[in-house]
Amino acid sequence: MTSRLLTTLTLAFLFAPAVAAPPLVIAHRGASGYLPEHTLEAKALAHGMAADFLEQDVVLSKDNVPVVLHDIQIDAVTNAAARFPDRHRPDGRWYALDFTISELQQLSVTERRDPKTNRPAFPNRFPAGVGAFRIPTLDEELAFIAGLNHSTGRHTGIYVEIKQPAWHRKQGRDLSRAVLPILTKHGYQSKQDPCWLQCFEPDEVRRLRSDLAYQGRLVQLTGTSPAEAASLLSPDGLRSLASFADAIGPAIPSIISGSSPDDRKITSLVHDAHAAGLAVHPYTIRADSLPPTVRSLDDLHSLLFIDAKVDGLFTDFPDRTSAWLTSHPSPSN
């Protein structure tokens, strides 16, 4: 596993083109299939599982500190409603932007649940109410990963997402401007550094490259709407994206279409993206929530890595994705 990891990083980042092999294992919110998402404990476990990259979704606190959370709201993964019962907005939700970093770090992080019903999103994952997890800042997490890299001799990379920058701007905040100095502080500045920076909003990805002059690797995340597929993910759209981005992050249904294993089809998306010079890192492998188009986790890995020839993927279970790659050592792109 160590040799595969080192080979991956060498080929993917040191003087390599955008589309590279072998495929990357990207720990989605850390080893979130086993521990509460985006906690340092989940990142440590994913690091120990030899994931190539660890993901950080980033939003802002009230005092403009980038924190690692998947949502701008905090009530689905913390005890904010119990700890600060009167701090919700008119929509009944609690927002990270309304809390200082000191207040956010008083909260307990739990496994994701529906804030209306309090039911867990994934019932068989880490039990609610067990452990003492908290929200990390981006600065803390990058220092933590650097420490793990130092103590283990590994070179695990980071994969940062700018979450809802347009929403933040409507609140009078500039999330990207707050994040970039932290990346620079930790040595993530160029395409040779083990960092990918991603966002769903094309205008923000363009802005990162042009107005903010970010020189590292950029990823355009995409959803599943037909309108988006007709624009961003068309051959012309992909060529346009390649003028400022290095990769795309599509949802798995954009690559494996259909409603069942009997009518599934590998779309042309990966081929078209590669033709435009873009790497492809789809999301998300969940062993406990497989797409209706696959028969098993092994089937899904095979479809993505061998049939579609993706360059890496996001997984809640980095150990299982790494194990598949180890037993199928050379899916060629």
Q: Which residues are catalytic?
A: 28, 70
* Dihedral pair phi/psi, residue 55, rounded to 5°: -85, 140
* Sign of the torsion angle spanned by Cα atoms 26, 155, 325, 34: negative
Measuring CA to CA, which residue among 157, 144, 129, 140 is closest to residue 61? 140
Q: What is the dihedral of CA 150, 286, 20, 48, to 10 degrees?
A: 20
Written as one string, the DSSP assignment of 160-202 is: EEE--HHHHHHTT--HHHHHHHHHHHTT--BTTSSEEEEES-H
Taking each continuous run of H as one helix and of E as one strand, the counts in the chain are 13, 11
Residue pair 82/110 in contact (Cβ under 8 Å)? The answer is no
Task: Report the distance separating Cα 60 and Cα 3, nearest Å.
Answer: 37
Three-class secondary structure of residue 94 per DSSP:
coil
Task: Report the distance separating Cα 240 and Cα 25, nearest Å.
Answer: 27
Three-class secondary structure of residue 217 per DSSP:
strand
CB atoms within 10 A of CB 243: 10
Q: Are strands 256-257 and 312-315 parallel, antiparallel or unpaired?
A: unpaired
